[in-house]
């Protein structure tokens, strides 16, 4: 049985739903499809069983899913009439059963190739890279070539296939015409039942992101045979005409040698301007084309990007990760590991993957955010499949972080695993539905902003030929800034401090009012600056005005030890589990000292995931014990309030009162005066706490 409170301190009063609006209660008791997950299925089997039911019936009735994510399937991608007819039948059946429908825009991933058809139509739009070959005579060392070998196009789980340039308007025109127009025109009147479009991991090439595991690589389909006799050289993404755009924008020719080296200010200026222009190009051409099409056709654009949690890769893949994240109506993330113990641990930095869509939505003044969820790491890396309890906790970690739309790659059952029967999948979807019924309509409450140093990463990035997975491949300053940024985010995640990421472009939109920085739907009283950053002059002036108006700027101390474990953290064994990421005490201490009076958990536990929201004048907390161990403690700093505690797993609701809390500590007795909520949580349990 779930335990809510320590009865020695608080006596809960069971009530039907006193203290909660009646509309919340109705949604809680019967969550609509809008609150439930969607199944990533691509190709739906519409064959009927002996009782006359098909897979759509099963998804709706037995699984209690909210919808499906589908695309054209079958031979002759986007050409075969039988494939279009199957898609029409699928959308029609989903609508008949009341399910939501999203359209996935590619045959596999990364999106943009249209299953190879874009390059078939125009080979000239193939992705390009500029390389540096020191063996050639001076004047010939820098040249542009097709980008394929040694890149993500040859090292992904979908197919080894040549890839178009996401900065090419012609490529995007072909892609949207084939995929988006094709889907709309072939669905005809059924198109009105499509809710949104899903684009998956588009990226610039010109970077070696590392080889996928051999156990998976040997099974990847090879469409275009790579030529590994081709020289493996330092490379950077290049889109034709970028040098002319550079000249027009900055008034001086692009010195390409500066892209590949130089520690002087002029070289850094050239690099920053180049990658800023590439980021703008990606946001305008790729994201902008798709968003414009979706808006013209009354649909939102959604999806997610590649390597969201690997900071080192973000500049060469996108120019500016934050800029492209903000280029979608429903920004998203990819959750590849369903073991919730990995959320705040050293090997995955899941908090960072979730921070992108959450921050982008707040900066854009929107709410909806998407997550693609799978057991990729469990299967590819040979791990044990997760339990439903772990699946629920992983979903709750994301919803606590701001995610609203969950796209599942889970199979409905794993026959060889007796602890995950089919019946549990419906319970999982009910759990998500209840949780989302309270949180999806609420606004994230975050008053701390963490500066994402895209400006520095653009200034400092030096292309390499090798996989970008070692600190030595970049300058010590890059390593130091990246370490400070990651440590700051990890410290706040492990201390349950909700925050928003913002780069120099987002700050250029900010207004100072009443001691706060206001951007989009966010209002921030504190800005955390990683160590050693170089601020553009307008940003420095803005933060100066912010401090003068009463705002707080937290300048982190420089990190001198453990840089490798912070920048490229490795999994550490802890009783067979992953240890929390190493965070220097100076970083945690500096941040927490600057945030007095905040909500905090006593005793502190880094595996607790926490989200704070506001809805209709109510404060909503989501608390997740993302651990296989139980938790007994207290949420302090909540203020005096009448609280309701909701368990999305059982559907149970309780009421609490406030009280004082005394607990022992290794450094003496800790006494927290004032109201608080005592919690006793089982492994992987989630609680919603609502107060007014």
What one-character DSSP code corresponds to residue 284? Answer: I
Phi, psi (deg, nearest 5) at residue 52? 85, 20
Cβ 628 vs Cβ 683: under 8 Å? yes
pLDDT value for 669: 33
Enumerate the domain spans of the chain: 1-30+598-692
Give the single-character DSSP code of 384.
P
DSSP helix/strand/coil, 56: helix
Radius of gyration of the chain (CA): 25
Contact 251, 157 (CB under 8 A): no
Residue 600, Ramachandran bin (φ over 0: left; ψ between -120 and 50: alpha; else beta): beta
Positive or negative, the Cα torsion across 353, 358, 361, 366? positive
Closest CA to 157 of 4, 306, 315: 306
Residue 365 CA to residue 323 CA, distance in Å, equals: 15
The whole-angstrom separation of Cα 43 and Cα 46 is: 9
Q: Cβ contacts of residue 307 below 8 Å, gap of 6+?
A: 203, 209, 313, 314, 317
- 135 contact partners, CB below 8 Å, separation of at least 6: none
At a CB cut-off of 8 Å and minimum separation 6, what does 81 contact? none
- Give the span between the Cα atoms of 603 and 278, in whole angstroms: 46
Pick the CATH number of 1-30+598-692 from 3.20.20.70, 3.40.50.1010, 3.60.15.10, 2.60.40.1180: 2.60.40.1180
d(CA 119, CA 307): 25
SS3 373: strand
How distant, in Å, are the alpha carbons of 194, 237, 336, 357, 550 from that of 329?
A: 15, 26, 22, 10, 33
DSSP string, 231-271: ----EEEE-TTHHHHHHHHHSS---GGGGG---SHHHHHHH
Low-confidence stretches of the chain (pLDDT < 70) are 1-19, 346-347, 413-419, 469-472, 569-579, 656-675
Burial class (CB in 10 A: 0-12, 13-18, 19+), 11: exposed
Token pair 């004047």 in the structure block, residue: 139
User: How far is Cα 408 from Cα 400, in angstroms, rounded to an integer?
Assistant: 17
| Interacting residues of 323 by C-beta distance below 8 A, sequence separation 6+ | 279, 280, 282, 283, 454, 503, 505
C-alpha span between 566 and 240 (Å, rounded)? 37
How many whole angstroms separate alpha carbon 501 and alpha carbon 519? 11
Phi/psi at 601 (nearest 5 deg)?
-100, 130
Q: Are strands 631-636 and 676-681 parallel, antiparallel or unpaired?
A: antiparallel
- Determine the Cα–Cα distance for residues 553 and 632; give it in Å rounded to an integer: 34
Q: pTM, whole model, 2 decimals?
A: 0.93
Containing 552, the helix (H) or strand (E) segment is strand 552-555
Q: Cβ(639)–Cβ(681) under 8 Å? A: no
| DSSP label at residue 579 | P
Residues with Cβ < 8 Å from 395, sequence gap 6 or more? Answer: 37, 373, 406, 428, 431, 432, 435
Characterise 394 by phi-psi region: left (phi > 0), alpha (psi -120 to 50), beta (else): alpha
Residue 116: half-sphere exposure toward Cβ, Cα within 13 Å: 12
Q: Are 170 and 240 contacting, i.e. CB atoms less than 8 angstroms apart?
A: no
Tokens of 236: 């950077």
């Amino acid at each position: 049985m779930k335990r809510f409170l320590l009865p020695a301190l608080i006596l809960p009063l069971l009530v039907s739903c006193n203290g909660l609006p009646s509309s919340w209660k109705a949604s809680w008791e019967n969550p609509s499809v809008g609150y439930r997950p969607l199944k990533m299925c691509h190709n739906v089997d519409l064959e009927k069983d002996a009782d006359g039911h098909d897979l759509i019936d099963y998804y709706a009735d037995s699984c209690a899913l909210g919808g499906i994510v589908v695309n054209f399937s079958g031979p002759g991608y986007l050409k075969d009439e039988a494939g279009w007819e199957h898609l029409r039948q699928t959308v029609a059946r989903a609508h008949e059963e009341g399910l939501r429908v999203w359209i996935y825009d590619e045959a596999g991933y990364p999106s943009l190739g249209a299953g190879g058809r874009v390059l078939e139509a125009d080979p000239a739009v193939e992705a390009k890279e500029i390389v540096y070959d020191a063996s050639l005579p001076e004047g010939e060392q820098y040249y542009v070539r097709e980008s394929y070998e040694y890149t993500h196009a040859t090292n992904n789980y979908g197919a080894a296939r040549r890839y178009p340039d996401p900065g090419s308007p012609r490529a995007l025109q072909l892609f949207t015409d084939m995929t988006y127009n094709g889907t709309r025109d072939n669905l005809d009147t059924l198109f009105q039942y499509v809710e949104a479009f899903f684009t998956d991991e588009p990226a610039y090439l010109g970077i070696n992101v590392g080889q996928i595991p051999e156990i998976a690589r040997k099974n990847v389909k090879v469409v275009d045979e790579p030529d590994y006799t081709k020289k493996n050289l330092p490379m950077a993404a290049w889109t034709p005409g970028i040098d002319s755009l550079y000249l027009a924008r900055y008034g001086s020719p692009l010195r390409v040698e500066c892209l590949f080296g130089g520690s002087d200010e002029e070289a850094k200026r050239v690099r920053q301007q180049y990658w800023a222009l590439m980021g703008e190009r990606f946001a305008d051409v790729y994201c902008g084309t798709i968003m414009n099409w979706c808006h013209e056709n009354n649909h939102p654009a959604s999806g997610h990007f590649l390597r969201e949690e690997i900071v080192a890769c973000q500049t060469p893949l996108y120019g500016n990760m934050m800029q492209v994240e903000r280029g979608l109506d429903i920004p998203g993330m990819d959750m590849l590991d369903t073991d919730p113990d990995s959320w705040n641990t050293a090997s995955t930095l899941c908090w960072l993957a979730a921070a992108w869509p959450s921050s982008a939505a707040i900066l854009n003044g929107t709410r909806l955010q998407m997550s693609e969820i799978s057991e990729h790491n469990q299967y590819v890396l040979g791990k044990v499949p997760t339990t439903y309890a772990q699946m629920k906790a992983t979903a709750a970690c994301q919803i606590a972080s701001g995610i609203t739309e969950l796209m599942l790659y889970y199979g409905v059952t794993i026959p060889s695993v007796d602890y995950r029967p089919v019946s549990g999948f419906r319970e999982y979807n009910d759990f998500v539905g209840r949780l989302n019924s309270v949180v999806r309509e609420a606004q994230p409450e975050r008053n701390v902003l963490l500066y994402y140093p895209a400006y520095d990463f653009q200034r400092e990035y030096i292309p390499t030929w090798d996989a970008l997975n070692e600190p030595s491949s970049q300058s010590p300053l890059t390593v130091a800034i990246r370490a400070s940024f990651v440590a700051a985010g990890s410290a706040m995640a492990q201390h349950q401090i909700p925050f928003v990421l913002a780069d120099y472009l987002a700050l250029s939109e900010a207004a100072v009012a009443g001691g706060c920085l206001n951007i989009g739907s966010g209002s921030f009283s504190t800005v955390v600056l990683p160590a050693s950053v170089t601020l553009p002059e307008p940003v420095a002036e803005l933060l100066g005005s912010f401090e003068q108006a009463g705002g707080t700027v937290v300048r982190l101390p420089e990190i001198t030890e453990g840089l490798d474990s912070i920048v490229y953290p490795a999994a550490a064994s802890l009783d067979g589990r992953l240890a929390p990421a190493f965070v220097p005490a100076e970083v945690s201490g500096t941040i927490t000292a600057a945030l007095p009076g905040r909500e905090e958990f006593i005793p502190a536990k880094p595996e607790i995931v926490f989200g704070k929201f506001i809805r209709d004048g109510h404060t909503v907390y989501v608390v997740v014990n993302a651990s296989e161990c139980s938790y007994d403690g207290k949420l302090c700093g909540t203020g005096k309030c009448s609280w309701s505690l909701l368990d999305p797993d059982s559907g149970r609701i309780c009421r609490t009162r406030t009280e004082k809390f005394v607990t022992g500590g290794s450094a003496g007795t800790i006494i927290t005066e004032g109201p608080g909520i005592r919690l006793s949580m089982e492994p992987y349990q989630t609680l919603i706490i609502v107060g007014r």
